[in-house]
Amino acid sequence: MRKDLKVFQANSFVESRQTYTVQEKRLLSTLIAHIKPSDEEFITYNISIEDLATVSKTSKHNFYNIADDITDSLMSKIIKINIDDKKGFKKFHVISRAEYQEGILSLQIHSDMNDIFLKLQESKQFTAYHLVDFISLTSTHAQRIYELLKQYEHSKQKERTLTIDNLKKMLGIDKKYARYIDFKRKVLDIALKQIEEYTTLRYQWEGKKTGRKITSIHFFDIKVAGKNAPTKKEETKFLQNKVGDEFYFVPENRTVVIATIEEKDGKIRVTDSIHQAYSFKNIKQLNDGIAIAIGKNIQEEK
């Protein structure tokens, strides 16, 4: 599957109530990523069994039954989009036709979805993300929160606040997690962990109270770590590979061997064999210290 595929969808679709499973959302996003910006109308979009297996994280030999079940479910679900400042609504079926033959799944998007997926550059009210990042997420809540925050990554404020009731409605879990502690543990914490581990989107969040009760979630410092930035998982692996390396700690004018290393509160924290701690602003500062230690060792060997 091409790694440059991007998903473009109207913000009204991103903010709609959705009850898709992980597999359904992966397939739907893959379909949307096949829409070209130049498309004036929907065509029949063909997705190969190899791409389907990649998207669904399953073997292509088992995909016939999976495709049959997923398309049945996708074609039965309705999307509800609020209009006129939430005093009205529209309801849609996203997919109007599905056909599977000789390793190719052919899908047709319902014509009622034109305003949701076509000519979005004209309205500028859309959200975009790379498909390869999205399909790595294994939680429906992580998928949806990822979309809702990608919508705001280029805003000047880099933040958005949603009432818990509204957020739960968008996630399709209106009747679940009545206790805040359960909502935090099973939705918000898992979403943050997965999004940091598998994508380059970064953010923080906090609960906001009305009186004594937490009623809203404030997402802030929403940003992308960089086009080629490592994911959180890759960063952790990179740091752990530094254990045993020497670094030169300039303030104390001495060379130290790394015993433990972790990222905490945006900084790199290192301890040595006697548990003395050292703090670095970022990985570059640590790497500079390692480079100095290597240089000193070379000089001593000469």
Say what the pLDDT of residue 220 is: 92
Q: Could you give the 3-state DSSP secondary structure of residue 248?
A: strand
Our measurement of the distance from residue 3's CA atom to the centroid of its chain's CA atoms, rounded to an integer in Å, reads 15
Q: Which of 192, 157, 150 is nearest to 8 (CA)?
A: 150
**Identical fold at 1-135 and 138-227?**
yes
Say what the pLDDT of residue 190 is: 95
Say what the pLDDT of residue 226 is: 59
Q: What is the CATH number assigned to the segment(s) 138-227?
A: 1.10.10.10
- Over the chain (302 residues), the average pLDDT of each successive run of 10 is 84 93 94 87 91 76 80 92 77 93 92 89 84 92 96 86 96 94 96 91 93 95 70 66 80 82 76 81 74 66 54
Token reading at 188: 């918000």
CATH topology of domain 1-135: Arc Repressor Mutant, subunit A (1.10.10)
Say what the pLDDT of residue 262 is: 82
Phi and psi at 163, nearest 5°, equal -65, 150
Domain positions in the chain are 1-135, 138-227, 242-301
Say what the pLDDT of residue 239 is: 73
Handedness of CA 28, 30, 31, 36 (dihedral sign): positive
* pTM for the whole structure: 0.75
Distances (CA, A) of 163 to 139, 207, 208, 216, 293: 21, 10, 9, 4, 51
Q: Could you give the 3-state DSSP secondary structure of residue 121?
A: helix
Say what the pLDDT of residue 107 is: 95
- List, in order, residues 6 or more apart from 111 with CB less than 8 Å away: 41, 42, 96
